[in-house]
Structure 1
Amino acid sequence: MTLLRGRRDGLEVTLPEHALDAGLDQLAARLAQQPSFYNGSSAVANFGTAVPTLEIIGRLRAVLSDAGITLRGLAGGSAVEELAVNAGLLFESRPEIKLSDSARSLIADFAGARKDIAARRRRGEASVPRLRAEPKEARQPALRLVEAHPTARYETATLRGGQALHHTGNIVVVGDINPGAEVVATGDIVVFGRLAGIAHAGAAGDAKSRIFAVELAPTQLRIATYIAAEQGAGRRDASPEVALVRDGQITILALSRLGELPAASMTT
C-alpha cells in the first residue's frame, strides 16, 4: 500500500517494500485525482527495508513532478544512504525492523489462509461462524492507566481492497478497513472505523493480542495461530467490539463487557 502524508517540512511518500512498481502506479493514480493540490510542495520517499534502483527513483521523480512535487530526499536503511548521495538527495535514517523466521512464517500462513477463505466463498461454502461469549449481567469495566506502546503505528486513512498494512508492534487505524484489505501486527489492532477486511493481531505468536473496532464485520480474524472468519454483511447491531482468544478460540465481545473477563480467560 502506498501512503502519502503531510509533515511539517512537506510530504512523505511510503512505498510498499515488495511491490515498488505497483506502489508507483498507485501513487500516480492518487495524485491524478487532485492534480494541483500538492503543487509546489516537496517530498521524502520512505522505502522501508527495500533498496530501490536508480530507475525506480527516476520514475518516482517523474510521478511527483507531474503533480508539481519535488523529490527532496530518501528515507530507509543504511543501504539507501549511498543511493541518496548518488542521486543528489538528502537522506533520512530509519530503524531497520526485521521479523523473526517464525513471524515471517505466520505472515505467509496468513496469506495462504486468506486465499483459502476466498476460494471457499467462491464455491459458496459457509464461513466459520461468529463466536460470542455467554451473556452476563452488564457492569462497568474497570479503568486503568497504561503506558503507550513505544512502537505503535498510527494511520489516518481508509484501507481499500488490495492494500495491506504490516507493523512490528500495535497498529491504530483511524478509518475503515474495506473488504480485500489486510492489517497485520505483532501486537494489538485498533480500528476507529469499520473493520470489514482481514486483521491479524499477535502475528509473532502472542495470543494475548486483541483486535478492537467500532464496527467489527471482518472477512477474517486471526490472533497468533487462531483463525476465524465470518460474513459481515447485513449486520444491524454494529457497536464497538473486541476480538480475543478465550478457551482456545477467537471470541467477540461488546467492548463494554471487556472488564468482566478475568485476565486468565483472555489467554487460555
Structure 2
Amino acid sequence: MSDLISIKGGRDGLRMRFDDTADWPALLVQLEQQLTQNQAFFNGARLTLELGERSLDEIQLSELLNLLQHHGVVADALSANARAARNAARAVGITARPLPRYADPPPGTPSLAPESEALLLTRTVRSGQVLRHSGHITLIGDLNPGGELIAGGSVIVWGRLRGFVHAGALGNAEAVICALELSPTQLRIADQIATTPPRGSGPHVPEVARIEQHQIVVESWENYKR
C-alpha cells in the first residue's frame, strides 16, 4: 500500500501492518489516503492490525478504529509486542496477542508487491460469501451468484464464474479475470466496470477479461494467448 502501511492476505484473512517507527499523525494521514483511494477493496473488510513494537494508548487506538470504521473496515484483532497496545485493544473488546514471528529476508532483498502473493482455494464460493485477498486469487471451484471475489491482483476461476469479481481492486489495471465459464453478475478491473451480455445455449469456452483502451473486454483464452 505504502512505505508506512502494508496489507497482507492469506487463509486467515487480511493483516494490516504499520511501520512502528513512523510518526503517528503521519500514519493516520497515510491510512486515510489509502482507504479513500482503495475504497472498493476495503469496504466491508475485516482485518488484523499489526503494530510491531509501537506502544499505543487507548486514545490513539480509538483514533485508528474510528478511521477504519468510517471506511467500513472492522478490526477483529490486534497483534503487537508492546503490552500497552495489547491492553488498549482488550479494553475496547478487541482480541490482542503478541506479534507473530516472521522470518526476516536477507539484507538487500527487494520487497514483494502484494500481487506476488497468491491465494489458492479449492471450494465453492456461495451466495453471501465474500473472499478478499491483497494478491492474486485462484479458485478451483465455482463462484455462485451472490458470491464475491475481491483481489488486489488477478482472479482465476477453474470453474463457473457466476457471481461478482473485482480484480486489481488496489488499482492494478493490468490484472485479468479468467474462468472456464464466464457468466458474472458484474466484473470490475481496477476502476472499470462491466457486465456480460446474455449468452446462447451453445457450449462455454474459457475466457479472459482485461482492460483495453479504458474499458473491459472479454475474449476467448485461445485468442488471448496468441
Tell me which interval the TM-score lies in, with the shorter structure as reference length.
Answer: 0.5 to 0.7
Name 1:152's counterpart in structure 2: 118
Q: What's the secondary structure of 1:256's corresponding residue?
A: helix
Runs of at least 4 residues off by over 4 Å: 13-17, 79-83, 231-235
> Which residue of the other structure, out of 210, 213, 225, is the alignment partner of 1:247?
213
Name 2:193's counterpart in structure 1: 227
Q: CA RMSD in A?
A: 3.9
Name 1:169's counterpart in structure 2: 135
Q: Does 1:93 align with 2:111?
A: no
Matches within 5 A, 1:128-147: none
Please say if residues 186 and 203 of structure 1, whose CA atoms lie closer than 8 Å, have aligned partners that are also in contact: yes
Question: Which structure dedicates a bigger proportion of its chain to strand?
Answer: 2
User: How many pairs does the alignment contain?
Assistant: 144
Q: Does 1:195 align with 2:161?
A: yes
Cα separation, 2, equivalents of 1:169 and 1:188: 7
CA 49–179 in structure 1, closer or farther in 2 if over 3 Å, else same: same
Please say if residues 172 and 189 of structure 1, whose CA atoms lie closer than 8 Å, have aligned partners that are also in contact: yes
1:106-149: CA deviation from partner (whole Å, max 9, x where unpaired): xxxxxxxxxxxxxxxxxxxxxxxxxxxxxxxxxxxxxxxxxxx6
1:197-235: CA deviation from partner (whole Å, max 9, x where unpaired): 011111111111100101100000111111001355755
Q: What's the secondary structure of 1:49's corresponding residue?
A: strand
CA 204–14 in structure 1, closer or farther in 2 if over 3 Å, else same: closer
Largest Rg, 1 or 2: 1
Cα separation, 2, equivalents of 1:247 and 1:217: 22
> Which residue of the other structure, out of 203, 209, 224, is the alignment partner of 1:237?
203
TM-score, normalised relative to structure 1: 0.45
Matches within 5 A, 1:122-133: none
Deviation at 1:150, TM superposition (A): 3.6
CA 94–238 in structure 1, closer or farther in 2 if over 3 Å, else same: farther
Percent identity between matched residues is 39
**Structure 2 unaligned spans of 5+:** 1-10, 16-45, 51-75, 88-96, 103-114
TM-score, normalised relative to structure 2: 0.52
Cα separation, 2, equivalents of 1:154 and 1:228: 25
**Structure 1 unaligned spans of 5+:** 1-12, 18-46, 52-74, 84-89, 96-148, 261-268
Amino acid at match of 1:164: V
Question: Which structure dedicates a bigger proportion of its chain to helix?
Answer: 1
Please say if residues 151 and 170 of structure 1, whose CA atoms lie closer than 8 Å, have aligned partners that are also in contact: yes
